[in-house]
Amino acid sequence: MLSKVAERVYWTARYLERVENTARLIRVYDNLMFDLPRSVNFGWYNLITINSAQKEFADRFKVQDERNVVKFLLADDTTSSSILSSLSAIRENVRTTRDVVPEDTWELTNELNLYVTENIQLGVNRKGRHEFLDGVIKGCQQILGLLYGTMPHDPAWDFLRLGRNLERADMTTRILDAGVAAVLQVVEEDAAVNSRQIIWGAVLRSLGATQSYRQTTRSAVTGDGVVYYLLEDLSFPRTIAHCLDAIIDSAERLPRSKEIVAILKENQSTIFDDVDYEELGEPLRDYLNDLQTELASIHTHIAATWFPELH
Amino acid sequence: MAINWKDYSSGEFYDEVMSSAGNARRPAQKLVTQLKSFSEEDIADRKQAADSTIKEMGVSFTVYTEEGNIDRAWPFDIIPRPIAAKQWDIAEAGLKQRLTALNLFINDLYHEQKIIKDGIIPEFVLKQSKNYRKECEGFKPAFGVWAHICGTDLVRADDGEFYVLEDNLRVPSGVSYMLENRAITKRVLPELFEKVDIARVDEYPARLFDTLASLSPRRLKKPVIVVLTPGIFNSAYFEHAFLAQQMGVELVEGSDLVVQDDSVFMKTISGLEQVDVIYRRIDDLFLDPEVFNKESVLGVPGLMRAWRKGNVALANAPGAGVADDKVIYAFVPQVIKYYLDEDPLIPNVETFLCYEDKQREYVLANLDKLVVKPANESGGYGMLVGPHSTKKDRETFAELIKANPRNYIAQPTLKLSTAPTIVGKNELEPRHLDLRPFILQAKDTYVTKGGLTRVAMKKGSLVVNSSQGGGSKDTWIVES
């Protein structure tokens, strides 16, 4: 398999995962709007902070309100973090790797792209937002389903899996971060406990993890329970532990992987050492930040091992 | 109300579908009966279905504009163009004959040049040929074949016969659109495929693969074949990706390849892997900066060395474009006669050579009636269409011809055939069209069943190139 194709397939998967998770992220906040008591002063701008997009946002918008944040994350085609530009990156990458992905990937990608460009306004307005985000998530799932159902488990598959799991892990840290940020905004008052529970419940729901959390932990939704589950549970496919495991598994199947696998395994053994489940405020945000840096360095190793060198 | 077939008239032109108002030609009868049964709404629905299918399938081509390159949806008319199988058999035989002769000719030019020594083609024509590559002299490609993939443009004149308009032997494109046109038509007019016996076209990628595989210098069970593209900004990138995917081979750019020890390798995740056959979609002059254009970053340094050593096969072979020259085109009937001792089965269009004094005089005196073409351009660029030209255009061309007579040929303005095409809001109007069949040659020769029909979408226009606003139709070879 060509190095360049490997790189493009990897990015296809990353962007696809990013689109789906950005939609999920907005959905968490959208749901919270309905569920939280009105006394909780709730900030959409958190979504910009956790995407580390403050500067880009400030270049475009003065007011940090819901409409602008959603517009930025969905429809801004001049930044790389929006759903619209991630989708066009997917399209460009699939267009240049049609020889290694299943034939229908191209058609489904085009369909999703058309759906989003034609309905983006629905997503920006609160009224049609739920339906729109649902459509986006389903479109992504459809492509994933196609890949799962018809793609041979060859190197291209492993690069898709590498990209998907790395981006997924990264997005899980961001969704957790969104949760912590929201919790920190809840003022200590009578409704606080209830509000916190609503927030952690929304975090689980956004990852489709409510049911499995219940089945695995058999306990109530609490902050430390949710954080532990999303970081360390091995069986649920969107947790950090699971994603890391999948990354190592794929890396091992690829050629020339000895060195990178050794580094990954070393990481895996120490990665949760610094979590403090007693302190879910700022210390957790710091930890999640470090985790993101760690994930970024995994990308660097992947690129150095398999992708073409920059000219 | 349904589409009005009664008032449809192509006037003086031969129409592919209707012989006279309301009467369908034999291979088109079932098609027209079915179309007539459609209401206006049916037609509109199917047109709409075709448009969205094209968008979903992402069938596009890239157009260069001042604002940058734009990816355009493929312009497509839902009414197919049927051709009788019996007539096609003759055209097919004629194309095989033509390509066999042309390949013998190219091979001769790079070796003994017998045809020139025997005085059939003047020496200076070759000396001044832009696409003759001295670097290729003496090379012996597999089966003696240089042009493995050819797209020959055919037109049907008002006598109802096919004529060859030109041969494209460099990097002809359009075959993917032929295949996609069929896929779209199957989705949009499914009932017709039950009723009409239409020849399959989808075996092309497999045939292309076999042709390429047979060129492999290494006798391997699974030779490594790649499609070499200039990249996503090329107008035919869609096709490059499509063919690579259909054949199950790698789509590469120059930067993915490297030459070591006079062999070509591609950069893979496991390291370097040797490449046996390159279906190149890059023009000769960009193939190898060591030999040709030094500035080019599209190609691969050392590629020509590897090819000359016989360590990699290139399709088409460099230098094959020498027969693409429109002056050479004028000689093809003699070429066929010379190498095969046969008369051509498909005639050329009458052609005037501007380097010959008498013919040039005639051309200059009749510019308003003729089409003038430069010998080595493609895509309909740099042409003069006499009857549609201004006085100033004609003056400019007269100067061009006088300055470089070897570079120009002229042909009578063709009465290209027409076919009913849906325009505007379900109006049916005749539009001119041509046909590009694709011919593969290695050990054997293969011709597509039909080819790509291109349609001039503007009323009265004879320009069918997609880069200049042309559209297309599905082409049916029909048993009738």
Tens-place pLDDT, residues A230-272: 999 999 999 999 999 999 999 999 999 999 999 999 999 999 9
Q: What is the mean pLDDT of chain A?
A: 91
What's residue A188's pLDDT?
66
Nearest CA to B212 out of B182, B244, B256 is that of: B244
A103–B268 C-beta distance less than 8 A: no
- CB-count exposure of residue A309 (10 Å: 0-12, 13-18, 19+): exposed
What's residue B2's pLDDT?
65
Nearest CA to B195 out of B343, B37, B424 is that of: B37
A87 contacts on B by Cβ (under 8 Å):
none
Mean pLDDT to the nearest integer, A217-237: 95
Task: Please give, rounded to a whole number of angstroms, the shortest distance from the CA of B65 to a CA of chain A.
Answer: 20
Per-residue confidence band for B69, with pLDDT thresholds at 50, 70 and 90 = low
A4–B255 C-beta distance less than 8 A: yes
B251 contacts on A by Cβ (under 8 Å):
5, 96, 98-99
Walk across the sheet containing B384-385 and list its strands.
B352-353, B408-412, B370-374, B384-385
Which phi and psi angles does A50 have, rounded to 5°?
-70, -20
A98–B55 C-beta distance less than 8 A: no
B117 touches chain A (CB under 8 A): no
Nearest CA to B240 out of B176, B169, B301 is that of: B176
Nearest CB among B248, B255, B269 relative to A6 is that of B269
Which phi and psi angles does B135 have, rounded to 5°?
-60, -15
pLDDT tens digits for range A11-22: 999 999 999 999
Quote the CA–CA distance of B268 and B217 in Å, as a whole number: 21
A99–B244 C-beta distance less than 8 A: yes
pLDDT tens digits for range B151-205: 999 999 999 999 999 999 999 999 999 999 999 999 999 999 999 999 999 999 9
B364 touches chain A (CB under 8 A): no
Residue A172 DSSP code: H
Task: Please give, rounded to a whole number of angstroms, the shortest distance from the CA of A15 to a CA of chain B.
Answer: 19
The CA-atom distances, in angstroms, between B191 and each of B2, B186, B195 are 18, 9, 7
Which phi and psi angles does A121 have, rounded to 5°?
-65, -35
Quote the CA–CA distance of A51 and A175 in Å, as a whole number: 10
Q: Are strands B277-280 and B225-228 parallel, antiparallel or unpaired?
A: parallel
Percent of chain A with pLDDT over 70: 96
A1 touches chain B (CB under 8 A): yes
Quote the CA–CA distance of A45 and A168 in Å, as a whole number: 22
* A167, A80 Cβ separation under 8 angstroms: no
pLDDT tens digits for range B307-333: 999 999 999 999 999 998 889 999 999
pLDDT tens digits for range B212-247: 999 999 999 999 999 999 998 888 898 999 999 999
3-state secondary structure of A129: helix
Q: What does the block give as tokens for B74?
A: 């493929």
Place of tokens 């076999």: B210
B57–A4 C-beta distance less than 8 A: no
Q: What does the block give as tokens for B239?
A: 């096709």
Nearest CB among B56, B252, B253 relative to A107 is that of B56
Quote the CA–CA distance of B189 and B38 in Å, as a whole number: 11
Q: Are strands B370-374 and B452-455 parallel, antiparallel or unpaired?
A: unpaired
3-state secondary structure chain B: CCCCCCCCCCCCCCECCEEECCEECHHHHHHHHHHHHCCHHHHHHHHHHHHHHHHHHCCEEEEEECCEEEEEECCECCCCEEEEHHHHHHHHHHHHHHHHHHHHHHHHHCCCCHHHHCCCCCHHHHHCCCCCCHHHCCCCCHHHCCCCEEEEEEEECCCCCEEEEEEECCCCCCHHHHHHHHHHHHHHCHHHHHHCCECCCCCHHHHHHHHHHCCCCCCCCCCCEEEECCCCCCCCHHHHHHHHHHHCCEEECHHHEEEECCEEEEEECCEEEECCEEEECCCHHHCCCCCCCCCCCCCCCCHHHHHHCCCCEEECCCCHHHHHCHHHHHHHHHHHHHHHCCCCCCCECCCEECCCHHHHHHHHHCCCCEEEEECCCCCCCCCEEHHHCCHHHHHHHHHHHHHCHHHEEEEECCCCCEEEEEECCCEEEEEEEEEECEEEECCCEEECCCCEEEECCCCCCCCCCHHHCCEEECEEEECC
What's residue B380's pLDDT?
63
Quote the CA–CA distance of A94 and B246 in Å, as a whole number: 15
The CA-atom distances, in angstroms, between B108 and each of A142, A155, A165, B117 are 56, 46, 58, 11
Lowest mean pLDDT among A29-43, A147-161, B272-286: A29-43
The residues in B 311-350 lying below 8 A from A, measured between CB atoms, are none
Count interface pairs A-B at CB distance under 8 A.
Answer: 69
Q: What does the block give as tokens for B108?
A: 């001769």
Mean pLDDT to the nearest integer, A280-296: 94
**Rg, C-alpha atoms of chain B:** 23
A103–B245 C-beta distance less than 8 A: yes
To test the contact with chain B by mutation, choose from A1, A9, A98 the residue with the greatest count of B C-beta atoms within 10 A, namely A98
To test the contact with chain B by mutation, choose from A99, A106, A115, A302 the residue with the greatest count of B C-beta atoms within 10 A, namely A99
B245–A255 C-beta distance less than 8 A: no
Nearest CB among B58, B251, B267 relative to A3 is that of B267
Quote the CA–CA distance of A141 and A20 in Å, as a whole number: 8
pLDDT tens digits for range B333-384: 999 999 999 999 999 999 999 999 999 999 999 999 999 999 877 656 788 9
Q: What is the mean pLDDT of chain B?
A: 92
Nearest CB among B57, B237, B248 relative to A107 is that of B57
What's residue A42's pLDDT?
67
3-state secondary structure of A233: coil
Does residue B466 have a pLDDT over 90? no
* B116, B331 Cβ separation under 8 angstroms: no
Mean pLDDT to the nearest integer, A124-153: 94
- Cα B60 from chain centre: 17
A4–B245 C-beta distance less than 8 A: no
Nearest CB among B241, B266, B269 relative to A99 is that of B241
Per-residue confidence band for A41, with pLDDT thresholds at 50, 70 and 90 = low
What's residue A311's pLDDT?
46
Mean pLDDT to the nearest integer, B452-460: 92
Quote the CA–CA distance of A258 and B405 in Å, as a whole number: 66
Does residue B103 have a pLDDT over 70? yes
Task: Please give, rounded to a whole number of angstroms, the shortest distance from the CA of B245 to a CA of chain A.
Answer: 4
What's residue B378's pLDDT?
63
The CA-atom distances, in angstroms, between B87 and each of A227, B92, B160 are 74, 9, 10
* B26, B84 Cβ separation under 8 angstroms: yes
Per-residue confidence band for B68, with pLDDT thresholds at 50, 70 and 90 = low
B269–A256 C-beta distance less than 8 A: yes
Interface pTM (ipTM) of the complex?
Answer: 0.78
The residues in B 228-247 lying below 8 A from A, measured between CB atoms, are 232, 237, 241-242, 244-245
Does residue A156 have a pLDDT over 90? yes
Does residue B265 have a pLDDT over 70? yes
The residues in A 241-260 lying below 8 A from B, measured between CB atoms, are 254-256
If you measure CA to CA, which chain A residue comes closest to B247?
A99
A106–B58 C-beta distance less than 8 A: yes
Which phi and psi angles does B151 have, rounded to 5°?
-120, 110
